[in-house]
Each structure stands twice: as C-alpha cells, then as structure tokens.
Structure 1
Amino acid sequence: MAAFGVEPDDVTYAVMIDCYGRVGNVDMALRLYDHSRTEKWRLDAVTFTTIIKIYGTSRNFDGCLTVFEEMKALGVKPNLVCYNTLLRRYGKS
C-alpha cells in the first residue's frame, strides 16, 4: 500500500488482524493486535472475536477474558458471535 501512496486506516488494520487470525498466522495477528493497543486503533467486535478465538485455541483462557475486558473498556459492544465464542472457549476449558 505504501508503494501506491495509500495509508491504511483503522478498518484496514482491523481486517488485517482478522484475516491473519483466520488463516492461522497467529504471530502476525497478535503482533498487529499489540500494535493496535499502543496506536489506539478503533477495532470492531469481529476483530476482538478473532483474537479471543486465537487465545482459546492456544488454551490461554485468561487471555480470552483479558481481550473481552479490553473490548468492553474501549466501548466496543460484544455481539452474539463474540459471546458465543467466549462461552465456547471457556466450555472447552
């Protein structure tokens, strides 16, 4: 994108985190998520749900809850999919 003079916005970064998480590139998804917190990007419920899935898959259930709490603290309203994902991950624990 930089080669074309286009600067990505918060939505683009949110989609990138979601895509990296869905294709299994966990390291890049988590790296972008950590960077999003320092840069104060606006992320949506879908992106937070993806991060919760990543932490749940790696059996880091405290991480799932931490992401959920961060989401609420930022004022992002969880949707039904987010709640179901969180419950499913805790159910597997």
Structure 2
Amino acid sequence: MEEMKEVGLSPNHRAWTILIDICGGSGNVEGALQILRAMREAGIQPDVVTYTTIIKVCVENKDFKSAFSLFAAMKRYQIKPNMVTYNTLLRARSQYGSLQEVQQCLAIYQDMRKAGYVT
C-alpha cells in the first residue's frame, strides 16, 4: 500500500480486500483486522466483499467471535450481507463449540431467510 501511495496511486476496495485476504491466508487474523482499520482510516468504507473476506479469514482461522462481531458491524453500517456472506458464516457451523456460537449461527440463518435467501 505504501508503494502505491508513493507513486501517486490510491488503493481501492479491491486492493484493500486482496491485502486482507493475503494476510488472513497466512493465518494472521489480527493483521487482517488491522488492515480493515487502516482501510477505514484511509477514508475507504468497506463493502460487502470486504466484510465477507474478513469474515472468511476469521472463520478459516476459527476466530468465530470476531466473525460474528464483524457480521454485526456490517449490519450496523447498513451493509447488506449477500449469500456468500451467509454461507461463509454457516459453513463453519460444524466447528462451533459453544451454545452461544450455535445460537448465533441460528440467528444468522434466520436473518438469511428473512432477507429472502434459501438454502
């Protein structure tokens, strides 16, 4: 990102999202979350693809608390989840260990149904 800025280029949603995915792909959830914060600080608001990507990073690294928190933030910012967002959260349901995680999963499923998506 710094190199892009040095040559006068401004990173867009896609560049930020790719960086989040790369960082998360190496298992660095905290780094991916920091990139999301830096994106906001740069004045670029995350979109549904960005949120879905960071949620995927959290789910793949079994950080369900952060995944659910990001889903809630997404809705707070009035960013409408898409089918990929819902599937990303629900696909990990077999890994949920606590009753709270199962309840959150059920709430997400119900939200998905209200939004008109069917499985």
- Asked if these proteins are the same fold (TM beyond 0.5), I'd say yes
- Is 2:48–2:79's contact at 8 Å kept on the other side of the alignment? yes
Higher RCO (CA < 8 A, seq sep 6+): 1
Question: Would the alpha carbon gap of residues 11 and 50 (structure 1) be closer, same or farther in structure 2, given more than 3 Å must change?
Answer: closer
Q: Which runs of 5+ in 1 are unaligned?
A: none
TM-score (ref. length: structure 2): 0.61
Identity, in percent, stands at: 34
Consecutive aligned runs of 4 or more in structure 1 exceeding 4 Å deviation: 37-40
> What CA RMSD, in Å, does the superposition of the two structures yield over aligned residues?
2.3
Higher Rg: 2
2:83 to 80, 84, 87: 80
- The residue aligned with 2:104 is none
- Is 1:45–1:76's contact at 8 Å kept on the other side of the alignment? yes
- Is 1:49–1:81's contact at 8 Å kept on the other side of the alignment? yes
TM-score (ref. length: structure 1): 0.74
- Is 2:48–2:82's contact at 8 Å kept on the other side of the alignment? yes
1:14 to 17, 23, 29: 17
After TM superposition, the structure 1 = structure 2 runs for residues 1-93 of structure 1, keeping only pairs within 5 Å, are 1-21=4-24, 23-24=25-26, 26=28, 27-93=30-96
